[in-house]
Amino acid sequence: MIRGPIRGTTRVAAVIGWPVEHSRSPQMFAGAAAAAGLDAVMIPIGVPPESLAQIVGALRAMRALGASVTVPHKLAVAALCDELSPAAHEIGAVNCLRFDGDRLIGHNTDCHGFTDALVAAGFAPGGKRCVILGAGGAARAVAYGLRAAAASALDVIARRPQQVSWTAARPWTADELRDSFARADLVVDATTLALGSGAVAAHQAAPDATHQAVPDATHQAMPAAAPDAMHNTTHQAAPDAAHPAVPGTTPGAMPGAMPDATINALPLDALRDGAWVSTLVYHRRAVLLERASQLGHSTLDGRGMLVHQGARAFALWTGGTTPSAAIIEAMRGALEAALAGT
């Protein structure tokens, strides 16, 4: 995407991560800025963990327009903020920094970005029963968003449920999976399971949205079935998040080691007519979604979540609260162009 020249008046935003070369946020920001007529540019900054405070301090000093935060900094950057939004506070992670005068406000737009994407695709979470596979940080962000959207019930299925303190997780067993799927209106894979043999690469390639783990011990347990409870999320190395045990596979093995057995072990045949299946992977079609689609189910990948969390961040930086349809479409088009290599 071609923009005009950078001037002395051009506002600067940033995306910070380590590494950061994979990020599509600068392209999405450029699309949004062009649609809004905003003279601004987003620069990617690779920030090793030991330099995080220094770089955030520099962004604060230069009164940056805002900053997106990706792995591995979503947890650590929260401690550098003067204030956290309710979502960031509950989730325990920050993916969006807003500079308000001398104050640094940390936000989490991942959670509502996920539910915005669902609604835009035609699935309204209110009153629906949802199942989340995995209990790491990505699952926590998704759970927060679904509860905020008034989902009627939420089953979180984890390999080590006894180690999950932020919700009453269910065990990852063949019987539990089938029982939960049979009741579900929506199944969300918050792991790299859906990719099959591409799991390792995808886990590294899709961190723009939510993948960074929050330690389970950080927050108190809350009943999984409480629809009005607000829960926490954003993922890194939690055992339940990236490498769930599946009947027929070796516990602790990467899902890609046995892609067919791993994915086929999920009882998609138990889903009711009209149930949806979603993943957070955005850079290529997930095997899980292909399987679900073949069975007649509506599916959603992670591109919508990435676009909507970015649109919410852009609105925060530019003085709004809800992103406009024009900004969302501009970001969507920019992302698709970036993924297509154009």
Q: Report phi then psi at 235, rounded to 5.
A: -105, 150
Q: Around 332, how many Cα atoms within 13 Å sit in the side-chain half-sphere?
A: 15
Crossing angle, helix 325-340 and helix 25-36, to 10 degrees?
140
The Cα-based distances of 96 to 127, 275, 292, 310, 330 in angstroms read: 29, 32, 33, 9, 19
Same domain flag for 293 and 145: yes
Same domain flag for 76 and 129: no
Question: Choosing from 24, 73, 74, 312, which is the catalytic residue?
Answer: 74
Confidence of residue 213 (pLDDT cuts 50, 70, 90): very low
Query: What is d(CA 189, CA 142) in angstroms, rounded to the nearest whole number?
Result: 10
Q: Is the pTM of this model over 0.85?
A: no
CATH number at residue 192: 3.40.50.720
Dump pLDDT digits (tens) for 46-60.
Answer: 999 999 999 999 999
Same domain flag for 183 and 324: no
Amino acid at 70: T
Same domain flag for 38 and 79: yes
Q: Report phi then psi at 257, rounded to 5.
A: -65, -35
Same domain flag for 53 and 145: no
In this structure, is residue 124 part of a structural domain? yes
- The region of weakest confidence among 93-97, 201-205, 325-329 is 201-205
Between 132 and 166, name the one with better pLDDT: 132
Query: What is d(CA 183, CA 271) in angstroms, rounded to the nearest whole number?
Result: 7
Query: What is d(CA 149, CA 146) in angstroms, rounded to the nearest whole number?
Result: 5
In this structure, is residue 4 part of a structural domain? no
Q: Is the dihedral of CA 215, 173, 197, 299 positive or negative?
A: negative
CATH number at residue 327: 3.40.50.10860
In this structure, is residue 48 part of a structural domain? yes
Same domain flag for 299 and 310: no
> What's the mean pLDDT in 5-13?
94
Same domain flag for 132 and 249: yes
In this structure, is residue 257 part of a structural domain? yes
Same domain flag for 17 and 139: no
Domains identified in the chain, total number: 2
State yes or no: pLDDT of 204 exceeds 50: no
The vertex-221 CA angle with 219 and 222, nearest 5°, equals: 120
State yes or no: pLDDT of 319 exceeds 50: yes
Query: What is d(CA 100, CA 295) in angstroms, rounded to the nearest whole number?
Result: 49
Query: What is d(CA 156, CA 178) in angstroms, rounded to the nearest whole number?
Result: 13
Confidence of residue 236 (pLDDT cuts 50, 70, 90): very low
Q: Which of 234, 151, 232 is nearest to 186 (CA)?
A: 151
Confidence of residue 260 (pLDDT cuts 50, 70, 90): low
Domain of 140 in residue numbering reads as: 112-303
In this structure, is residue 3 part of a structural domain? no
In this structure, is residue 2 part of a structural domain? no
Q: Is 74 a catalytic residue?
A: yes
Same domain flag for 250 and 105: no
- Residue 29's pLDDT is 98
% of residues, the chain, pLDDT over 70: 79
In this structure, is residue 6 part of a structural domain? no
Same domain flag for 104 and 135: no
State yes or no: pLDDT of 233 exceeds 80: no
Same domain flag for 227 and 309: no
Q: Is the dihedral of CA 28, 31, 37, 40 positive or negative?
A: positive
- Residue 195's pLDDT is 60
In this structure, is residue 5 part of a structural domain? no
In the three-class reduction of DSSP (H, G, I as helix; E, B as strand; rest coil), residue 202 is classed as helix
- Residue 194's pLDDT is 65
> What's the mean pLDDT in 218-230?
29
- Residue 283's pLDDT is 82
Same domain flag for 221 and 156: yes
Between 221 and 296, name the one with better pLDDT: 296
For 321-332, the three-class secondary structure string (H helix, E strand, C coil) is: CCCCHHHHHHHH
